[in-house]
Amino acid sequence: MEKEEEKKVDQGVSRESPGGERRPVCTMFTPGTERGGVGVPTPPPTTPASYSSASARVAAARRRSGLLTSGARQSPFGTPGRSTPLNRSLHTSQLLEAAGQYTMEFYGSSLPTLVKEALTFADRNVEMSAVLSEEGWAWLVCGRRLLVWKYRQEESRSRLVNHQFRELTLPPSDLAHRAQLVVVYTPAEGQVPSCIAASPEGFVRYWGTITHEASYCEVSTELQGQECESLVSLGAGLGCLLATTTSTTLLLQPGGGLGGGQTINVRHLKAPAGLLGGISRRVSSLVFGSMPTQAPEARLVRAVGVPGAHGEERAILVLSANSLQKWYLAPGQADQLVYECNVEKHIRESFVDHVWGRERAGATQLRVWLVDMQPAAGGSAVMVLTAAVNPQVSQQLVYALG
């Protein structure tokens, strides 16, 4: 019976190293190119990969971790914030599965013990989500628990540091916390990472260093009932961009408070007022057409930040249910709204011209959804995933990239 169970684990859940150490599953999924079809390959991601868990995914994660975790159920790390050494060596590339459209292989270091236990013993009613950042940090949100660890070790560093794993506590909330509302980043002046976390209601907690779990500041963004959707890092000079489900955008900037303490400065993104401030909007209207003011309840699709043309400047792209905004932000300078385009109108016309034709459909007959957005060409262009259905013809849902 034990041999059969070990065989199943070896086939689908874990692998054993030459030394006998069982490796937990931490896989990398790489989509391939579809042969003989008309599919367009997706642009490479420029934002952290995230994984949200519904109840089915939580159960699946629990089953996987149950096979990976052995020993006593009592955690040896009872103190929040206590550091745990992480296996410095990365797994060598080991292929798990391959097909014509994808490959699956091990990626990154072994999961810390507390992460395995959180996946194994978490209550099935607790929402769980995780994010892998480009800087090599990963974090798992389980209730109010925030588990942060280094999943990718830099080759240039020959020794481990004592902040490879930390556990932090998120702000109180009546709604489920999400990993997409957390950012872990390394400030320019040091190697110890900082952390900013927002609750769905808009309470923001900031740790200047994750090595001190009890040392943080907390502020309210006063969203007046709006719910937070995403938190995007813009670099140490600008802080983070907080976006709500109704497309409100705020800039969160860590700074010094009274008495040398730490604080978070919160401000809404606003276009400059006056004659000079409106020039860019009027010029853009000549290129993209009229730009109606975005509805206050416009559903947010995606908000991303990409490097700008100069130094710490960042370009902000905000896609709502019907429009696309582009901003330029730079430390010490006023916010600049470059353009606001009614992208939903152009996509609707493209569906009519290239899918159904003018003789079978009018633009007003279609139901169109903007699903997702990904920066391309270094941020100078965007790829938008859209969907549409023509009820006058059929209920077939058509997806397109444009």
pLDDT by residue (tens digit) across 117-130? Answer: 999 998 888 999 99
Residue-wise pLDDT for 86-135, tens only, equals 444 444 557 888 888 889 888 777 889 999 999 999 888 899 999 999 88
Structure tokens at 193: 């990472």
pLDDT-derived band at 200 (thresholds 50, 70, 90) equals: very high
Tokens 């040896």 correspond to what residue?
76
Residue-wise pLDDT for 150-178, tens only, equals 988 766 554 445 458 999 999 999 999 99
Angle in degrees, CA 37, 42, 44, rounded to 5: 145
pLDDT-derived band at 190 (thresholds 50, 70, 90) equals: low
Q: What is the pLDDT of residue 296?
A: 55
* Top-confidence range, 188-197, 204-213, 308-317, 353-362: 204-213
Closest CA to 220 of 212, 230, 228: 228
Q: What is the pLDDT of residue 307?
A: 87
What does each C-alpha distance from 234 to 178, 195, 304, 368 come to in angstroms? 19, 13, 9, 31
pLDDT-derived band at 257 (thresholds 50, 70, 90) equals: low
355 in helix, strand or coil? helix
Distance, in Å, from the CA atom of 47 to the CA atom of 314, rounded to the nearest integer, reads 14
Q: What is the pLDDT of residue 54?
A: 45
Quickly list DSSP for 150-201.
Answer: ESS--TT--S--TTSEEEEEPPP-SS---GGGEEEE--TT-SS-EEEEE-TT
pLDDT, the chain, mean: 75
Is the pLDDT confidence value at 147 over 90?
yes
Question: How confident is the model over 371-392, as a mean pLDDT?
Answer: 89
Select the more confidently predicted residue: 149 or 83.
Answer: 149
Going edge to edge, which strands form the sheet with 137-142?
49-53, 128-132, 137-142, 145-150, 165-169
Q: What is the pLDDT of residue 251?
A: 95
Closest CA to 185 of 116, 237, 255: 237
What does each C-alpha distance from 358 to 51, 349, 353, 366, 384 come to in angstroms? 40, 10, 6, 12, 23
Q: CB-side exposure of 288: number of CA atoms within 13 Å? A: 22
Is the pLDDT confidence value at 220 over 90?
yes
Q: What is the pLDDT of residue 311?
A: 77
Closest CA to 340 of 254, 247, 250: 247
Residue-wise pLDDT for 262-304, tens only, equals 889 999 988 665 444 444 444 444 444 444 444 557 899 999 9
Contacts of 229 (CB under 8 A, 6+ apart): 180, 243, 244, 245, 300, 303
What does each C-alpha distance from 171 to 7, 78, 145, 269 come to in angstroms? 43, 20, 10, 24
Question: How confident is the model over 48-68, as a mean pLDDT?
Answer: 46
Distance, in Å, from the CA atom of 142 to the CA atom of 327, rounded to the nearest integer, reads 34
pLDDT-derived band at 358 (thresholds 50, 70, 90) equals: confident
Distance, in Å, from the CA atom of 117 to the CA atom of 328, rounded to the nearest integer, reads 43
Share of residues in the chain with pLDDT > 70 (%): 65
Buried b (16+ CB within 10 A) or exposed e, 7-36: eebeeebbbeeeeeebbbbbeeeeeeeeee
Strand 15-16 relative to strand 262-268, pairing? unpaired
Residue-wise pLDDT for 23-55, tens only, equals 444 455 455 544 433 333 444 444 555 555 444
Is the pLDDT confidence value at 233 over 60?
yes
Question: How confident is the model over 309-332, as a mean pLDDT?
Answer: 90
- Rounded to 10 degrees, the C-alpha dihedral 197/199/202/208 comes to -20
Structure tokens at 308: 């700008």
Select the more confidently predicted residue: 264 or 362.
Answer: 264
Question: How confident is the model over 241-270, as a mean pLDDT?
Answer: 86
Q: Where are the domains of the chain?
A: 1-35+43-122
Residue-wise pLDDT for 8-18, tens only, equals 434 443 444 44
Select the more confidently predicted residue: 258 or 332.
Answer: 332
Is the pLDDT confidence value at 322 over 50?
yes
pLDDT-derived band at 380 (thresholds 50, 70, 90) equals: confident
